[in-house]
Amino acid sequence: MKYLKIILSLLLILNFTVQNVYSQKTKLDRRLGKTQSEDLKEQVGIYPNKAMTKYISAVGNKLVVQLDSAKFDYHFTILDDSTPNAFALPGGYIYISRGMIPLLQNEDELACVLGHEIIHAQNRHGIKKIRRKIIPLVLEIPGNLVGILNQGLGALVNAPIEIPDKVIDATQSRQLESQADHQGIILAAKAGYNPEALSPTLDRLSSFIEASTGKAEQRSYFNDHPYTANRNKRIDKLSTHLNVADKNSISKDFMHEFDGIDYGDNPTKGIIIKSSYIDLSHNYRILFPNSWKIKKGKQEVIAFNKSKTATITCKEASSFNNTKEAGIHFVKELSKGAKRYLRDSKPIVVNGKSAYLVSMVENNRNKNIYAYSLWMPVGKRIFQIKAIGTQDLLKLVEKSAASIRPLDKKDKKLITRKRIRIVKSTGNETIIELSKRTHNYLSPELTGIINDIDINKSLKKGKEIKIVVEEAYF
């Protein structure tokens, strides 16, 4: 009896520990996934179409219920990214990019892609290889000023977080990819979807990337990832032997579920035209020095010269009443260590308006590095322009500051929105002819790929074709 008691309590403890360790482990997935998903939301953005998200979630959940026991609450999200992609973050956060959706031909293909990603999350593949690489733009400016002038400069010039496990440019090991392929299509088959749909999807994705980037699928491009062809051979071998449950699709008309989805870059994320930058969300346009590169950061826009020895950034800083108040606040907030580089802080006139300028100088290996922060009034708003480089940079800074203005009708005319639309063939026309007739923005080649149709083949009357139309944004 005593022994039994001990054994029982031992069992209890053991059981408790195992469970605890297990939930501790998945807790880490959930925590990481939550943080990373918030970063992704902020840095890349979520595509806000409720109906499309609801549909994708419905297909995803149909797969999740087929798992022996789901380790997480699964979330399905459309990422506002034009590159075709799908991936999983730890903790059950599954993403499909806006750019991936037009490539899919039916619900089976969507299910196979989601199944693959669900397996990555469920089997905790991501957690074994946490990838949150940030590729910083390395400025060739020595010294401390870069960090002082803009604590956020590092983050500002960083590329968006690298998206883990792209379907094609996969960073997972071959073994984990194969596992996700195999178990993913098993899941799809259990839910009544055709497991043979994965391999043509991967093929199409590969052709699309090749046709739109001009780069053939190469070993280097695909990293340690197997060629799509080899991968597909293995998928096909398995998928033909799977028992598929009774079919019961959620949508009766897959193509129309995504009619109107945005295609290509999202103009609200900022438009770069030659040397000018148009910010729709903050309603302004700024001109940077000729031939400088322009890059959109999280809140600021950054321009830099070819040798990366000088940069100018710009953002709205309207929380101050006037430019002087903003400048004085900036100086006050400088750390003790930073204050020793301070050279000057004074009101100046730029383009006939009262601006405010703070100048800093650092001597680094007998070379002077200059940093400027200039506050510029634009109507009732204030913009902060920061720059680092040589002394003569100030002229360029003032020129850029003077160029800031709200968007006018002409600017707005330049802004377009591209969307997927479904058109019907009049019969006896090829994709090439249909494209001409409908003013299709997309090349016939890419149109052929996203519709899975030979561009020289004559289309039947009434056949529905996805095209891209360019509409005025305003």
CB nearer Zn ion, residue 165 or residue 316: 165
Q: Are the CB atoms for 417 and 262 separated by under 8 Å? A: yes
Helix (H) or strand (E) holding 344: strand 342-350
CB nearer Zn ion, residue 88 or residue 371: 88
CB nearer Zn ion, residue 231 or residue 386: 231
CB nearer Zn ion, residue 179 or residue 403: 179
Min separation Cβ 445 and Zn ion, Å = 27
Min separation Cβ 452 and Zn ion, Å = 22
Distance between CA atoms of 11 and 461, rounded to whole angstroms?
A: 70
Cross-strand pairs, 126 = none
CB nearer Zn ion, residue 94 or residue 278: 94
CA distances from 427 to 47, 49, 228, 362, 460 (A): 35, 33, 35, 71, 5
CB nearer Zn ion, residue 192 or residue 226: 226
- Closest residue by Cα to residue 450 from 205, 171, 120: 205
Min separation Cβ 50 and Zn ion, Å = 27
Distance between CA atoms of 46 and 37, rounded to whole angstroms?
A: 10
Report the site for Zn ion in 81-140 (rule: CB under 5 A): none
Decide if residue 64 touches Zn ion (CB under 5 A).
no
Number of residues that bind Zn ion (CB under 5 A): 2
Min separation Cβ 137 and Zn ion, Å = 28
Min separation Cβ 86 and Zn ion, Å = 8
Min separation Cβ 229 and Zn ion, Å = 17
> Residue 316 in 3-state DSSP?
strand
Min separation Cβ 93 and Zn ion, Å = 14
* Widest distance between CA atoms in the chain: 95
Report the site for Zn ion in 169-198 (rule: CB under 5 A): 180
x/- track of binding to Zn ion for residues 147-166 (CB under 5 A): ------------------x-
Q: Are the CB atoms for 134 and 225 separated by under 8 Å? A: no
Min separation Cβ 201 and Zn ion, Å = 13
CB nearer Zn ion, residue 84 or residue 389: 84
Distance between CA atoms of 160 and 296, rounded to whole angstroms?
A: 10
CB nearer Zn ion, residue 223 or residue 390: 223
CB nearer Zn ion, residue 178 or residue 309: 178
Min separation Cβ 88 and Zn ion, Å = 8
CB nearer Zn ion, residue 123 or residue 212: 123
Pairing of strands 75-79, 93-97: parallel
x/- track of binding to Zn ion for residues 349-368 (CB under 5 A): --------------------
* Ramachandran bin of 377, using left for φ above 0, alpha for ψ from -120 to 50, beta for the remaining angles: beta
Min separation Cβ 301 and Zn ion, Å = 34
Long-range CB contacts for residues 149-157, cutoff 8 Å, separation at least 24: 149/360, 149/371, 149/373, 149/386, 149/388, 150/313, 150/386, 152/298, 152/299, 152/300, 153/313, 155/297, 155/298, 156/297, 156/298, 156/299, 156/300, 156/302, 156/313, 157/295, 157/297, 157/302
Name the DSSP letter for residue 363: E
First to last CA, the chain: 81
CB nearer Zn ion, residue 170 or residue 357: 170
CA distances from 59 to 47, 191, 199, 251, 369 (A): 18, 9, 19, 9, 57
Long-range CB contacts for residues 275-280, cutoff 8 Å, separation at least 24: 276/403, 277/301, 277/303, 277/314, 278/407, 278/411, 278/414, 278/415, 280/407, 280/415, 280/473
Min separation Cβ 213 and Zn ion, Å = 20
- Binding positions for Zn ion, rule: CB under 5 A: 165, 180
